[in-house]
Amino acid sequence: MNIKMVGRNIEITDAIREYIEKRVERLEKFEGKNTEITVVCTVEREDQIVEIQINQNGEFIRIEEKNDDLYASIDLAIDKVERQLRKEKEKRVDRNRDVAAKEKHSNLTKSDDDIVGKVTKTRCYEIKPITLEDAKLKLEDRKEDTFMAFVNVETNEVNVLYKRSDGSYGIVIPE
């Protein structure tokens, strides 16, 4: 991690430099080794402004905080950056989990092909809590689908709504 400190209308003293380095160390758990962090400290009238810019692998994050006290501005900015980096990391982890789950699902269907038959198409559906009437409307909108799985808001159970050959609808309710 490469930390660059710049002072505008203020001299970056050793105490300020050490404080910033100590606080930025908390960000190492979110950032990689090839990360550039620029901390710009500015004084405008009574305001102490701290701006933190992070450039990691092409991703850019910029945070700015104002306060009467420079150390408080540093703390607020670091806290805000930490929250944002935690949020980004959670998004990456969730995306990786989704990809892993889809790969696992595709591997399971491939191994079951010999027993059950060939699976020619796989579609993933998100099951959301909706009413039966809303499920009917969505199923009517989807011309290529013949069924829809959903969580029934009234019973809080997973139901499957399907189109019958005579144009009516059927519903599968678990026992």
Along the 175 residues of the chain, how does pLDDT read in single tens digits?
A: 788 999 998 888 999 999 998 988 888 777 666 678 899 999 998 889 999 998 876 778 899 999 999 999 999 999 998 888 888 888 878 888 877 777 776 666 555 545 556 777 777 777 878 888 888 888 888 777 888 888 888 888 889 989 888 888 899 988 7
Look up residue 59 and give its two tokens.
Answer: 């991703």
CATH code at 129-172:
3.30.505.50
pTM tops 0.75, yes or no:
no
Q: Which residues belong to CATH 3.30.505.50 in the chain?
A: 129-172
Domain with CATH 3.30.160.100 in the chain: 2-92
Contacts of 97 (CB under 8 A, 6+ apart): none
Homologous superfamily (CATH) for 2-92: Ribosome hibernation promotion factor-like (3.30.160.100)
Q: Are 150 and 128 in contact, with CB atoms under 8 Å apart?
A: yes
Residue 50 in contact with residue 74, Cβ under 8 Å?
yes
Whole-angstrom distance, CA of residue 173 vs CA of residue 175: 7
Task: Say if residues 121 and 106 touch (Cβ distance below 8 Å).
Answer: no
